[in-house]
Every structure is written in structure tokens, then in C-alpha cells.
Structure 1
Amino acid sequence: MKQFLFTALLWLAFFSPAKSQQLKSPNGKFVMEFSLQNDGTPSYNLNYKSKAVVKPSKLGLELKDDKKSLLNDFTVVATKTATFDENWKPVWGEVASIRNHYNELAVTLNQKETDRQIVIRFRLFDDGLGFRYEFPSQKNLTYFVIKEERTQFAMTGDHTAFWIPGDYDTQEYDYTTSKLSEIRGLSEKAKTANVSQTSFSTTGVQTALMLKTTDGLYINLHEAALINYSCMHLNLDDKNMIFESWLTPDAKGDKGYMQAPSHSPWRTIIISDDAREILASKMTLNLNDPSKIEDTSWIKPVKYVGVWWEMITGKSSWAYTDDFPTVQLGISDFSKAKPNGKHGATTANVKKYIDFAAKNGFDAVLVEGWNEGWEDWFGHSKDYVFDFLTPYPDFDVKGLHEYAKSKGIKMIMHHETSGSVRNYERHLDKAYQFMKDNGYDAVKSGYVGSIIENGGNHYNQFMNNHYQYAIEKAADYKIMVNAHEAVRPTGICRTYPNLIGNEAARGTEYQSFGGSKPNHVTVLPFTRLVGGPMDYTPGIFEMDLSKLKPDNHSHVNSTLANQLALYVTMYSPLQMAADLPENYDRFADAFQFIKDVAIDWTDSKYLEAEPGQYVTVARKAKVTNNWFIGNVNGDNSRTSTIKFDFLEKGKKYIATIYADAKDAHYKTNPQAYTIRKMTVTNKSKLAQLSAPGGGYAISIIEIKK
């Protein structure tokens, strides 16, 4: 069902600049007001249930090398309102159908001195506001360079924030919880070392930013449809509690090269007095265009294992040999090199993973370190690092393809660019064709290290255009993409559903690099996952990593039950069982949940939620209609209380509950868990203990008569 209603209202010379325009959400709970200040500066404010959420906030863009920026001196020459209502079906997702319902106000502004026009378009949903700048085709605004976007979000108080430091290169930080007024004092402490990072301000933070007011209102600030534009961060004026947009620059400090007609991404504000509704919001997806891929039958959710964790923990290596002080592809002769005995991507080792995947019902196997060049791939600003085509001598591409095919297993390719995007684009067509020729339908791409070309950062316009180019080129070859170290997602997976995963946050690998906070996974659904699914790589059962490599003294800050729950709470159509096969064999009864849990859903219910403390989610699987529940808990032990009222009336189900034992603790007793079964109906209730850093997972299967 799709419904359109358009109303055009025009004011010309007699329009009063002081007069404001109101826009209400379809349910009437939100009211957005647009107005021009006395100097012609655009401004908006937002109320929810008659309470101010965003105070009057300025809008506009500062231009480079221009006598007049797009900041003030505007008059309103036209306004146009519209209502839109549709239901659309995602290729994969948390639900089978999504409603896209909003009221819209488009305000056309003319700058008197320059006779230039811009349009500010607002869309108000029942869960929040999205707005963007549009630049129509016109003779007085053709090519222009953005020095800075001056979008403001004026807060109503000193809210609690769940934040990571503003950075042009990485989002791989643990979250800090503090008052807005405390960000400046905590900014240095909140930073942790990364191979590439560029912070810009002591009050800069990244989106998606989660906030909570003293009266219990939840606010999420982010952006949607980030295409051909720089990633937006937020810089806080902590005297007045006003956030202002701060775009990622290139090496020259420029923040956007624009040509009209064009537009910015959407700036988004999701709001509710119920934290569960923040998690359930589909506003970010709705602000993206429908799928541009007509035939999506080749896009399939994937549950996989892989040659990865053994390298992350130091048990194995990506590199094949220790013989070469430097490597030059086409010159270094790997056929004559001595293997180092630590290489993980060997034909024999990969076959073990293929056998394990086939035995346990997985779809695919990822292999990292299969291609020449890993001996000399990082830290040298090399342009020609990998060719994405040439395997090491101990990796039989064709033989493994045939072996995997005989077992019904797909292979996932790994492309690490080492920040040399020119080199990646140079090889992209051949690399994707090589994948298709050898049975690879999905690629995990990586951008570790500083970006070489243009002296740029990971999140500027140039790089965002590269990520988009790789996704669209992959679609031409019917290849699914899982991009790591790329810009955090903004709902583009609706338009290009072959983007089945991203990293763009602190994932499980950091548990091997010193650990993450035990409440990390209770924050990510409110922040990183607002823009799209994350390849978090859960399922670690051995928490003491010295048992994999004696000199790795890191500890996974999670209970085993918490790791199971992540398959439900950290939504993704791409889910990895990340641990070593032998660790799953040790805990075969718990591993059963990972084997059973679905990765594509027809319905999702958020049962409990509080950022930084706990998240409990129930999801209904496609095809089988089985339900799965996941609960992840933060630092403190608590009892989770849920109802099963989402189950169909009149039916009985067997619930298998994988839970923390009474003495479980993420640090001291992480592998203590219990498994029990019980019969449930839609009238049943459950009170379940969740340990510190713990949780529980439940599979629910109907009892057939």
C-alpha cells in the first residue's frame, strides 16, 4: 500500500520571515517548527509530547573561497508539504515488512544578496525527524566547496551520553558514559590506541550518539544515506549544550566538493520515552532509497566459520614466510621461500574448517591470509600491496573450491587493502571476476592503516565514494560485501542490500587486544547498529586467550551465555561462529544454540532495554517460524523478567534456555552455564538471572500435535 498527499503553499514577496512553519508527525506526538531568525538564518526546533527536545537550532553551510556562505540572509520563497505512507519488504532484516510513514515539509530559501536557492527538506516520522539540504540546479550555485556544515542540535540540558571520541579514522573505541559537561575532561581517557586515528576536538563525539535526559527521554543523533559527502561528527559547545556538525576533511581541509543539483545526507533525530522503541526504529532505513538491485535472489544471509580467530589471537599468522625483508609482487618468489610453519590459510587447515562447517550446518568459510603479500603489508605506504589474485603456494584455490562445493559450502573471500584504495580499484574487476570463477559469492574487505591516496582519512568524501563504488561494482558481479574499517553505516543497505555487513566499531577482535568493557554489547545496539548490521564476530567460548597463545594475556570480558545471546541481540544477516572448532567441540551442548539460531527474521520484539545496562530481544525466524531470545547484561548482576505474550495463542512450545550459572561472572567464572527445557505458552513468564557481563539465550520451538 502506497499513499501520497501533496499540498503546495506558496509565499512570495509578501512572506513574513518571522513567521514559522509547523510540521506534525502522523501520530501528532512530534511537532517540528521551522523559522528564519531576524538576519535570515534558518532555524528549527523539535517538541515531543509537548516537551522541548531540541531547542531552536541554526542550519546552514559555510563555503570555502566564497564571499557569501549559505548561512543567513535568506527569505522563504516557497513551502511544500506532503504525506507519504507505504509498506516495503526488505531483502533481509529484523522484520518481514517495514512501514514508511511520514509528513514532509520542504522549504525553499533564496539568499537575497547572491540570488542562490537551497531547499531544506524535513520528514517527521512517528519515531523522529530527518532533514537534509538540497541544492537545485541554478546559474548562481553550480560548483562549490564546503568548508563546514553548521547544523546544530541544541539540547535542553546536561544529558547523559553514551559516546566515543570524535575521530576521522576509527570507531573502534569502548563507549564512555557521562554527562555532556564531562566529555571534555574525559576525552583523552576515552581514547585507546589504534593503527590509524585522527581526533579533532576535546568535545568531539561520533554518531550514532545515544543520549538520555534526566526525565527519561531517549535521544539518538545520527545521519542517513551518506553518499557523495563527508561523514558527520558532532562537536559540543559544552557551555550551551549545543552540538554542531563537524564533517571529515581531506588533506587540504576541504570537507565536500559539490555540484548542483545535489543534496546532503539526512540528519536524524530518533526520540522516545521507551528505550525499546529506539532499537525498533526503522527511520534510518526509511530515509534511504529503495533497492537499486532489481534481482536480489542471489543475496542470501550467511552463517559462517573461518580462519580468522586463530590469527587474531596469535596462534597462527597471515604471513606465509619469514624469508623476505620486503615483498614486491611479481618479483618476490614465494615458490622458493621457506614456510614459517605458522601460516593459517593452508589447504589442509581450510579443509578442516570446511568439514566443520558442513558437519554443523553452516553456510560458508572465511579464509584470511590466503594471498601473497602479508609479510610486508602494513605501515609502509605501499601502493601495490596485494593483487587479490595470487595465492600462497600452500593455498589451492581451485582444489578448495571443488572440495567446498562437494560439501555444500561456500567460500568467503578476504580483500585487505592496507589503505591503498587506488590499488584496490585498479584490481577490483579482476578480483571480483576471480571470485566468481572460483565460487566466492561474498567478500570481506578491509582498510587497516592510514589511507594512502590524497593523504585522506577513512571517513572523508573521497573514501565514502570509494566504499560506495566497491559496493555497486560488487553488485554488478552479484557479490555480497562485508566492509571492515569503512565508514559506519547509514542505512545504505536498503538501497544496496548486497551490503550484508560492516565492522565500523569495536568488535570481538579487541577482546584479544586487551579486552572490551563488559557492557559494550549493551551500548552497540543503541549506537552503531542504528545505521545497519555489524559483523561483530561473536561466539567465543574460550575466554582465557593464553590457552591459544601463551604470551597473549587478554581475557574475553563476557560469559559463554552472553556470547550465545549476541546472535540475537546484535542483529546481522552475516553471523560468524568465531572461535576455533575444537572449542565448540568442548562445549557441544552450548554450541547447539549457535547451530540452531536463525539469521533472517519475520518479526522482532524488544522486550527489555536500557543503554549500557541490558538488552533483551525476541525474534521470529523466517521459514521455520521458531522464536529465539537473547539477553545481554552489563556490569552488574540482575534478574531479567520477560513475558512470552508474543507467542501464538493456543499453542505450546518447548523453550531451551542457555543461561549463566549462579556463580557465573565474566572475569572469574565465564564458562559457567546451565541448560534447561520448559514448556511455554503466550501466557508464560520468565525470571532469569544474568551475571555481570552475562546473559541468556533461548530457542523456542512449537510442539506439533
Structure 2
Amino acid sequence: MNKLFLSLLCMIPICALSQELVSPNSQLTMNFELENGVPTYQLSLEGKEIIKPSSLGFELKDIENLLDGFSVVDTESTTYDETWRPVWGEQSEIRNHYKELLVKLKQDATDRYMNIRFRLFDEGLGFRYEFPEQANLIYFVISEEKTEFALTGDHKAFWIPGDYDTQEYDYTTSKLSEISSLMNKAITPNASQTPFSKTGVQTALMLKTDDGIYINIHEAALVEYACMHLELDEDTFVFESHLTPDAVGNKGYMQAPRNTPWRTIMASKNAGDILLSTITLNLNEPLAYEDTSWIKPVKYIGVWWEMITGKSTWAYADVPSVKLEDTDFENLTPNGKHAANTGKVKRYIDFAAEHGFAQVLVEGWNVGWEDWIGKSKDYVFDFLTPYPDFDLEGLRDYAAQKGVRLMMHHETSGSIRNYERHMDAAYQFMVNHNYNAVKSGYVGNIIPRGEYHYGQWAVNHYLYAVKKAAEYKIMVNAHEAVRPTGLSRTYPNLVGNESARGTEFEAFGGNNPDHTTILPFTRLIGGPMDYTPGVFEQDMSVHNPTNNSWANTTIARQLALYVTMYSPLQMAADLPEVYEKHMDAFQFIKDVGLDWDKSIVLEAEPGDYITYARKEKGKNNWFVGRTNDEKPRTSNISFDFLDDGKEYLMTLYADAKDAHYRKNPKAYQIAKYKVNRKSKLNQFCAPGGGYAISIIEVDKDKLKGLKRL
């Protein structure tokens, strides 16, 4: 690690009420002020105001608020510059370069202290509250955090409804002033949801000003604190933080010394800068583990999609209820539709082994699925007992013989207390049976009843599960948990999250065609998503005649998502028999990398299109992906990112000229060219389509006869 730390460059006089902080490249300027005892900040990009003066502070329960009456005790200014290497990621090296201002405040009337630490990077601002050890503020309860984000106008926003329990919504694109009028339409059904306001939205919130400045508001390092939403005043265009409450309405339990998560604001004239920002990671703590050799990116398939489409079931029997401690599952009558059976899992293991996939996820292997959802059931699963038709030991050994591992599934049904009751035994069970990765789920309302998915109590649980898993050298892919905030830097066995509307909703009515052109600007700002792409059959009735849903995508775009939707955990979601009809296109899924030395954005406009190029870690291979919204477009890219003087084999997987996500989604074409850094591509992208490219360094004889692009 190359680290340069220059501390205490200057001391600011304690009488100062205003202080300026400038980013390392001088593009961004942050101003801190005390206005009549109220702490405020303001942010500008190249001299143009991005965030107007915005107040900071807290409403506390049963004691005086921390909103005003402050004086400056001291300020410290610092510059920091380091380069660190993530265990996995979009870049093999990340520069952490910022200028910092620490403002130490005293509330004179109460003799209480609160610090605010600002870090200004080239692409944005991070700040947090810090409560030092002190006599008059030890234990306290937050009623509301009152952080403001005062915007300069009625910006275009890419938003989902504020909700204490889910992010599984399609994005709405609108002016800020239109949010309240569109909220009812934006709130669609979910297994657990608690929308709280006509003007509440979730982070990461993506915005674009009329003069072309891109702004992103999020948070980093969410630890022992409630998830932050944003509440809009439509008259003033001021967002205020809105924390997720607990079962009795409190929003945070604090004990000094203690810090809050970071609040982040990114701003740029280039949309790609938002996508490539490393602020969220850099504001998290360094790696917590000494040994990370057991943490490896994974490409997997799974017994999952046929249950999602309704072709098969998670449950072994069709009975109205079961009790784990009383039910003799051996004597239940099987329903004949249970997917996680020995024969079917062997089929998936064989397919994985043949095509180079490391793992096979199996959902529905364990007893209890007959009445798992919507029953507010505490003791719902034990995470240990297989159904009678699932040969646990036999499948473990069969997979090992094939060079494949099974991936564990732990659905909690929202019963967090029950999961923690069984967690050590369940993780040890995984170790004993050669599982090193788990997909956990939190479908349904949280137990203890009244708690929310995004409250402080549940947030603490999600991190507890990750840290506990690390004791057993297990990687975690948590679904329905709180959206990530860069904690994977510190705990890289958190290899994925869902925490958004994923591919499964293509089988529940379909995602909007622009969905994957927005998610990288919003959900992925905090960390990778297990989006589960690779759906080649768009008509769900093919799998289940009672399911009339349609996946709003072309096959070419499904390939592109392996590049545009970054994750070190990538699933080929569709059924083996579907892939066997399109093995030429499936080849890209087999070839595409999982871990990257370098990532660049070639084209980007939120809600319209994104084109990424990524260099595979440790190799001289590049992969390009383009995801397109509902409009036909032409992508224009250059290959100047390639090494000078070298030629490569390029394979293009593209929409056919008559492709369309509804009318002709399976129309694709594959072409091979030789390319170098002078090559350029003008490529048609169908409505709901896109393209994927592999660029492989090969021997010159393999390029003979190919057309140069």
C-alpha cells in the first residue's frame, strides 16, 4: 500500500465562523458556516452552486435538540492521499485522495459537543457527524436527523418511493415538482412494504440539472444506524434526511463516542464520473480481515428460475401448514412439482461442470417452505434439515467429483430472531458439507414484529451475519437486506446484495425497459447487485402456462448486463434447456470476466443508455456491454483503450436489425472482427436491447481471414 498522510496542514482560528474547502483538482468547493449558531454547508462545481446553504443537526428525544446555539471550538484541515487494492472490484487499484475539514462545535447552553467532518474528493463531498466522549452527552435517542440537501432548482430525478422495507420498485423519471403527483403510481405491490410519504424517496438518488450537471446523493458506511431516506419540500426543492424508525418510532440509539454514516454528494458534468466514483468505498474503513484467500468471485447457475416463473415449487408438499418440530416430512405426500430434488440438481451440476460454472444455487432444499411467507411465523426454518427427495450428502459428493460446489440458500422469511438462533449451526453445517457461499433472503415483514428492514436493529443484524459468516470463511449474498453503502471494502465476503428490483420481476409482470440504464446510477453506487441476468426466454408462459409475464429485454441486452451490472457474483438465471437452444449466445456468459483491473465508461446517460468497457483482472482481455432503453439508438465507440501495437479478436453479440424487446427479442447476430486501438464501432441498439463484446488477445494466426473493424 502506498500511503501519504499530511496531517494538520493548518489550524483555523477558533473564532472563524466560515471556512472553505477545495477539492484536490480545484473543481469543487465546499463552504462551511455558522449562521446564527446553526451549522450549514454549501457546495459548488466550477463556481456554480450545486447545493445551496443547507443546515445540519439533530432532533433528540426528551432532551434539547442539536440544531442551533453552536460555536466553533476548533477546526483542523488535512490532506490525504493513498492507493489501495480491493480484494475484488471494478478497478484493481483505487486512489483515495481528498481534502478534509474537521469542525469542532460546542452547544454553549448545554455544554455538549458535536463535530462535523467533511471530506472533499475530486468527484464529490462526504460528511458525517461525530460525537466525542463527553460528560453531558453519553446515551441519547435520535428523533430525526435534520441534514438538508438544498437543491438549486426543479431538477430531473430518477427515483423510487421512500419505503422502510423495500427498494423493489421500478424507477420513475420526473421533475422534482412532480414526485407527489406520481407517487401512487410508483408504489407497486410487494411482500413487505412501508411507504411513508408522498414526497419521500430513497438513496442513491440520481439527479440532472437543466444545464447538464449530474448530481447523486447517497450515504456510505451504514453501521449501527438507521438507513437514510430523503423527504422533499416541493416548494423549495430542499431534501431533508428521513431515518427509518424502529417499532416504537425512535430513529437511532447512540452512545458517545460515536460517528454517523457519511452523507455523500457527487457532482459532475460527465455522467460517467458518477458511475466510476469511488467515494462510497473510500469513506468506508480499510479491510477488516488478515486472510482473504477464501473470498473469490463466483459465476453460478441455479435451481431458481423455474420456481420464480411458477413452473415448479419451493415446497415439497401441498399442505396448508407445517411445524418443523412436529411434522414428519417423510410421510407427507409430495406434490410432484418440487424443484430441489436430487435428479434435477444433478442435471444442473452436470450443466455447470460442462460449461465452467463454479457453483449451483439450490433453493427449496430445506423443510418448511409449505407456509413460509406472510404468516408472521417465528420458527419457520432450521436451515439444517433437507426434504426427503434432496440427497444432501450424495449431491455434495457428486458436485465435488464434477469440480463444482453447491451454493447454500437461507431464506429467513423475515424472522431475524430465528436466523440468529440457528446461525452458528447453519454456518458450521455449510462448512461440513463443502458450501462456501450463501444466498440469504428476508422476504416478508421483520420479526421481531414492528421492526423494519431498514431500521437500526435490522441493519445491525445484516452486518452481524456477514461478520459471523467470515468466522466460517463463508461469502454472503443478501437479498431483501438494506441497500449497500460500500461496506464490501471492509468486509469483502459481502460479495453481493439484491436490495432492488431484480431480474425476478421480469417473471412478475416485467421491468421497465429503462430499468438497467438507471440502476448503475442509483442502486450500484453503494456496491454490487446480484441482478441475476441471462434470461433468454422472454415469454414466461413457455415455462408456466398460467404466467403471462414478459421479460422486457432482448437476448443481446441480457448479455450486456454481465458488464453493465457490476458484480463479482454473476448468475446465469435461465434454465439449461433454454441455453441449449442458444449456445452461440451463451458463449459470452461463459467467457465474460468477473473481476476487473480497469473499468471505463464509453457512453452514459441515465434513463437512456450505458456502455462500459472492462479489462479482466490479470489478463489482457476486455469486455464491453451496452444497455439501451425503449428507443432505438446507435452506439458510437472507439477502442482506444486497447494496448498500442496489438491486435485482438473481437466477437460482437448484437441485436439484429429487426430486434425489439416485445416484438422480436430473440433476434441477435454474432460477428467476429480483428480490432486494434484505432478501431471504431457504430452499432444499432434495438428498443430494450443492446450489445456485448468480447475482445481477446490471441495468436495472429487466429486473426487470419477476419475483417478489420
Q: Tell me the TM-score normalized by structure 1.
A: 0.98
Aligned to 1:181: 177
Q: CA deviation at 1:703?
A: 3.0
Aligned to 1:594: 589
Distance 1:627 1:251 in 2: 49
Query: Quick check: 1:313 aligned with 2:314?
Result: no
Aligned to 1:6: 7
Aligned to 2:51: 54
For the Cα contact (< 8 Å) 1:8–1:79, is it kept in 2?
A: no
Distance verdict in 2 for CA 1:10–1:103, change over 3 Å: closer
Distance 1:491 1:666 in 2: 33
Q: CA deviation at 1:8?
A: 6.3
Matches within 5 A, 1:129-168: 129-168=125-164
Q: CA deviation at 1:624?
A: 3.0
Aligned to 1:612: 607
Aligned to 1:680: 675
For the Cα contact (< 8 Å) 1:11–1:77, is it kept in 2?
A: no
Distance 2:95 2:45 in 1: 21
Q: CA deviation at 1:80?
A: 0.6
Q: CA deviation at 1:410?
A: 1.1
The sequence identity of aligned pairs, in percent, is: 66
Query: Quick check: 1:626 aligned with 2:621?
Result: yes
For the Cα contact (< 8 Å) 1:482–1:499, is it kept in 2?
A: yes
Pick aligned residue for 2:71 from 67, 70, 75: 75
For the Cα contact (< 8 Å) 1:9–1:78, is it kept in 2?
A: no
Aligned to 1:210: 206
Letter in 2 for 1:511: E
For the Cα contact (< 8 Å) 2:124–2:267, is it kept in 1?
A: yes
Q: CA deviation at 1:387?
A: 0.3
**Deviation readout 1:595-645 (Å, 9 max, x if unpaired):** 110111111111000000000001111233211100000010000000000
SS state of the match for residue 218, structure 2?
strand
Unaligned runs of 5+ in 1: none
Distance 2:494 2:69 in 1: 42
Matches within 5 A, 1:183-198: 183-198=179-194
Distance 1:624 1:333 in 2: 53
SS state of the match for residue 488, structure 2?
coil
Distance 1:616 1:311 in 2: 32
Query: Quick check: 1:15 aligned with 2:10?
Result: no
Letter in 2 for 1:329: L
Q: CA deviation at 1:10?
A: 5.3
For the Cα contact (< 8 Å) 2:414–2:445, is it kept in 1?
A: yes
Matches within 5 A, 1:104-503: 104-322=100-318, 324-503=319-498
Distance 1:319 1:625 in 2: 46
**Deviation readout 1:524-557 (Å, 9 max, x if unpaired):** 0000000000000000000011000001000000
Distance 2:447 2:659 in 1: 46
Q: Tell me the TM-score normalized by structure 2.
A: 0.98
For the Cα contact (< 8 Å) 1:231–1:459, is it kept in 2?
A: yes
Distance 2:349 2:145 in 1: 50
Aligned to 2:529: 534
**Deviation readout 1:247-284 (Å, 9 max, x if unpaired):** 00011110000000001000000111000111011110
Matches within 5 A, 1:499-578: 499-578=494-573
**Deviation readout 1:445-472 (Å, 9 max, x if unpaired):** 0000001205111000000000010000
Distance 1:156 1:5 in 2: 35
Q: CA deviation at 1:516?
A: 0.7
Distance verdict in 2 for CA 1:341–1:506, change over 3 Å: same
For the Cα contact (< 8 Å) 2:629–2:688, is it kept in 1?
A: yes
How many residues matched?
Answer: 699
Aligned-residue CA RMSD (Å): 0.9
**Deviation readout 1:562-584 (Å, 9 max, x if unpaired):** 00000000000000000000000
Q: CA deviation at 1:9?
A: 5.3
Distance 1:281 1:393 in 2: 49
Aligned to 2:84: 88
Distance verdict in 2 for CA 1:31–1:104, change over 3 Å: same
Aligned to 1:29: 27
Distance 1:50 1:661 in 2: 46
Unaligned runs of 5+ in 2: 701-709
**Deviation readout 1:636-679 (Å, 9 max, x if unpaired):** 00000000000000001111000000000001100000000111
Distance verdict in 2 for CA 1:75–1:639, change over 3 Å: same
Q: CA deviation at 1:5?
A: 1.1
For the Cα contact (< 8 Å) 1:250–1:454, is it kept in 2?
A: no
